[in-house]
A and B are shown apart, each in its own frame.
Chain A
């Protein structure tokens, strides 16, 4: 079992819709959770960090964490074509462990 799992996609949503990205992790001891965005050919850029169960909102982005289910998600409201990228879920367990990423495509 992979330590951090994401659907590779591609996930395609129309402009203005909500994009939902999901991630599960295997280490129950993980304490910190991150979402990074990576445009093609570029390095990852931090979008959100979340440490406690529940929701955390930042602009159009909402991260959700459920430690009991070992599940973390990212919602992007009012998706824009500029949101088209690969989204990486990362979990700390002594070191930062990345999922394989979900490719998001927002169609105009």
Chain B
């Protein structure tokens, strides 16, 4: 149980375009999902907490107008990187709590490369 999927796993795009990443909880409902970003040789950095049916909570320094989060159902959250630039190239990982507990289960991640 507690399986989280992400799509796509890899995306390459041109600078200035927008990219949407989907995060799904496959066998449980998740009222809260989390979006992380990880640069090479660094740890995970929480970008935002996605709440079903309400606005996401962004961490300090994360531009909410650039990283749009939508959590329209109990099994799906999306992250849209708007007007992507090369510095947005990173490994984006989502996670979710199963059963309301504190344990977070991670999706496989999406590697974004902006040319």
Contacts and interface: CB of A to CB of B under 8 A. Distances in A.
B54 interface: no
B34 A43 contact: no
Contact of A96 (B42, B104, B107, B108): B104
A80 interface: no
A14 B31 CA distance: 44
Interface residues of A, number: 19
A10 to B, nearest CB: 12
A100 B103 CA distance: 19
Interface stretch (B14-22, B43-51, B68-76): B43-51
B109 A43 contact: yes
A28 interface: no
A44 B103 contact: no
Contacts of B93: 43-44
Q: What class of interface size applies to chain B in its complex with A?
A: 10 to 19
A99 B43 contact: yes
Contact of B43 (A43, A49, A92, A100): A100
Question: Considering residues A34, A42, A44, A100, which has the most beta carbons from chain B within 10 angstroms of its beta carbon?
Answer: A44
Contact of B108 (A42, A46, A99, A100): A42
Contacts of B105: 46
Contacts of B67: none
Contacts of A45: 106
B103 A43 contact: no
A88 to B, nearest CB: 7
Interface of A: 31-32, 34, 36, 42-46, 49, 88, 90, 92, 95-96, 98-101
Interface of B: 34, 42-44, 46, 49, 91, 93, 95, 102-109
